[in-house]
């Protein structure tokens, strides 16, 4: 039986997988949905170690690993260390939107985004620590070195920039364009990396569970041997 470990987004719970998990189970998968470590003590190495401990605790044998948002980044990191994994899936997980940018002055755009992030985390040491951890991870580098099949699913139906101040919105939109460009280039050069897009908001596994389940099942079936 194919097994899959399901990870939630940051600050979310395993309950987010309730719409999609039964669809995977109906196709014959064993699903195990778990929580993530607390954000205040977050480290990437610790999160990957936690996944390994969780797999062992639940008696899983070489499971696929799928995660949403922060959990998706952890799944992508898992893919860089575990060639035995049949599939890792990142559902719309991104680090800080501080580059790459397209169509704007990159120095000014980065300055704008960093000032905005600092403003949002003022007087919150735990969140400042978490933002620093996000800043330290080069996600495009991660995408270029998977050792097992890695599927990155992006959402195109969200309009987060509409909720941001105008200068931040412009910088964020430039980040979305720039990151998409570099992600496409990474996929063209990385046989184990596959890309997909869903016209949903960020919480795609809640908004389109059938589409998410179908993507996971398809890529488990067509994974490189």
pTM (2 d.p.):
0.95
- The CATH number given to whatever domain includes residue 183 is 3.40.50.1820
Measured between alpha carbons, how far apart are the two ends of the chain, in Å?
17
- Which of helix, strand or coil describes residue 149? coil
Rg for the chain (alpha carbons), in Å?
17
Q: If you write DSSP's letter for every residue of 106-144 in order, what string do you get? A: HHHHHHHHHHHHHHHTTT-HHHHHHHHHHHH--HHHHHT
**Residue range 86-135, pLDDT digits in tens:** 999 999 999 999 999 999 999 999 999 999 999 988 888 888 889 999 99
Using CB atoms within 10 A of its CB, is residue 30 exposed (0-12), middle (13-18) or buried (19+)?
middle
Q: Write out the residue range of the structural domain in which residue 95 sits.
A: 3-221
Q: How many domains does the chain have?
A: 1
pLDDT for res 225: 42
Q: Where are the beta strands (DSSP E) in the chain?
A: 3-7, 30-33, 64-68, 88-91, 150-155, 193-198
pLDDT of 84 > 90? The answer is yes
Do you find a cis peptide bond into 18, omega within 30 degrees of 0? no
What are 6's strand-pairing partners?
Answer: 33, 66
């Amino acid at each position: 039986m194919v097994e899959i470990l399901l990870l939630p987004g940051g600050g979310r719970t395993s309950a987010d997988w309730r719409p999609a998990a039964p669809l995977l189970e109906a196709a014959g998968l064993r699903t195990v949905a778990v929580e993530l470590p607390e954000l205040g003590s977050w480290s990437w190495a610790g999160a990957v170690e936690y996944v390994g401990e969780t797999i062992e605790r639940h008696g899983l044998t070489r499971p696929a690993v799928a995660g949403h948002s922060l959990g998706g980044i952890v799944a992508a990191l898992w893919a860089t260390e575990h060639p035995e994994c049949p599939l890792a899936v990142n559902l719309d997980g991104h680090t800080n939107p501080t580059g790459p940018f397209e169509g704007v002055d990159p120095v000014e755009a980065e300055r704008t985004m960093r000032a905005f992030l600092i403003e949002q985390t003022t007087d919150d040491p735990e969140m400042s620590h978490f933002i620093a951890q996000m800043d330290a991870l080069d996600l495009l580098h991660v995408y270029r070195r998977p050792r097992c099949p890695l599927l990155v699913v992006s959402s195109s139906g969200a309009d987060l920039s509409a909720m941001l101040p105008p200068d931040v919105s412009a910088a964020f939109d430039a980040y979305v364009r720039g990151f998409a460009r570099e992600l496409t280039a990474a996929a063209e050069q990385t046989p184990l990396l596959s890309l997909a897009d869903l016209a949903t908001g960020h919480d795609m596994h809640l908004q389109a569970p059938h589409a998410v389940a179908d993507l996971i099942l398809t890529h488990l079936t067509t994974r490189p041997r």
